Amino acid sequence: MSKSNHWSEYWKSGVQTSLPSDFKKNYDGEIYAFWEGRVDDLSSGDHVLDVCTGNGAVALIISEIALQQNKSIKITAIDISEINTEFIQKNVAQKVWSQIDFISHCPLADIAKHVDDKYQLVVSQYGLEYTDLNITAEVIFNLIQFGGELAFISHSVDSDVFKYMQTEQSIYQWLSDIGIISTLSDFIGARISANGLKNTLLSIVEKNQPPINFHGQTLLIHWQKMLTMLIKNNNHTIKNEKDNLKKFIEAHKAAKLRADDVVQVGQKLSDKKWNQEISSVGFRCLEDKPIIYQGTNVAGHSYRYIK
């Protein structure tokens, strides 16, 4: 599975944001307020580009605010992965999504193949840190009109998402190390029978207690339910579950790659100079500060640069 495919799998699952347990419908509070400030600065006729859009969260916020402010803004939203436009159209009012041109399978480095516009404002959220700024900082610079702005929110090294994802990564690794993933793959690939599956899983579960820091984690609970179902059901029922099990394992592999991606980004952000390329290509920094959500949680870091 490639880097973009695991994000495609994630967006296909029908989520609006990359932090669905905190922001189900869309980002709100201080994050919404940051984007509101950016739309305040726009005029009718301006073009906006949202890069690393995912399922379009920020593009949709900007579209909604522009409508409230009676501004006619052209919005383009791109992502390297497959944007789930079907989900967006079901989840969001038509007048909001219909103002946005979504472009899937568009790596930021290759964006010139997909768009030939110049933008007043380029935005991104939890996105630029996933790209190679040695390449993409200049790409963005070339997309912006003189006097235009790059505004983005990155993850923050202090945010809980990294601790959470690190624990998830350890759970994925543990499930693999104790042989659960390979046993399920053997059953899916018809290398062991339903009875063989049950006996092997039972023996693995009896021999391996999950480490204490995994207790109560949603991911582990999810797996425990699945394993209990497989061990307790009869062979006929388990055979009928094979297709579901295959999907479950595929989703598990995609989620593991996503956790790896996020943890790697956390390591990148721990270098305070992670975004120095942006200034190096000619942008001037206007804002560089943490976003404190509801006065307590660090939800990210906001940056504004002018060309």
Ligand X SMILES: C[S@@+](CC[C@H](N)C(=O)[O-])C[C@H]1O[C@@H](n2cnc3c(N)ncnc32)[C@H](O)[C@@H]1O
Provide the binding-site residues for ligand X, judged by CB under 6 A.
4, 7, 17-18, 52-54, 57-58, 79-81, 107-108, 125-127, 130-131
Could you tell me the two tokens for 53? Answer: 């859009």
Closer Cβ to ligand X, 177 or 250, answer by number:
250
Closer Cβ to ligand X, 64 or 79, answer by number:
79
**Per DSSP, which regions of 126-246 are E strands?**
144-154
Shortest distance (Å) from residue 135 CB to ligand X? 9
* Nearby residues of 242 by Cβ (< 8 Å), 6 or more positions away: 187, 188
Strands 297-306 and 144-154 turn out to be antiparallel
Closer Cβ to ligand X, 102 or 283, answer by number:
102
Shortest distance (Å) from residue 197 CB to ligand X? 34
Closer Cβ to ligand X, 159 or 200, answer by number:
159
Closer Cβ to ligand X, 78 or 171, answer by number:
78
Q: Distance between CA 70 and CA 65 in Å, rounded?
A: 9
Could you tell me the two tokens for 267? Answer: 């390591």
Shortest distance (Å) from residue 112 CB to ligand X? 13
Give the three-state DSSP class for 104.
coil
Shortest distance (Å) from residue 137 CB to ligand X? 12
Shortest distance (Å) from residue 162 CB to ligand X? 12
Residue of 42, 87, 38, 41 whose CA lies nearest to 61? 38
Closer Cβ to ligand X, 175 or 269, answer by number:
269
Distances (CA, A) of 99 to 24, 48, 156, 249: 22, 11, 30, 37
Shortest distance (Å) from residue 251 CB to ligand X? 16
Q: Distance between CA 185 and CA 253 in Å, rounded?
A: 12
Give the three-state DSSP class for 261.
helix
Closer Cβ to ligand X, 17 or 91, answer by number:
17
Nearest residue relative to ligand X (C-beta)? 54
Distances (CA, A) of 56 to 65, 81, 190, 226, 278: 14, 12, 40, 32, 23
Shortest distance (Å) from residue 155 CB to ligand X? 8
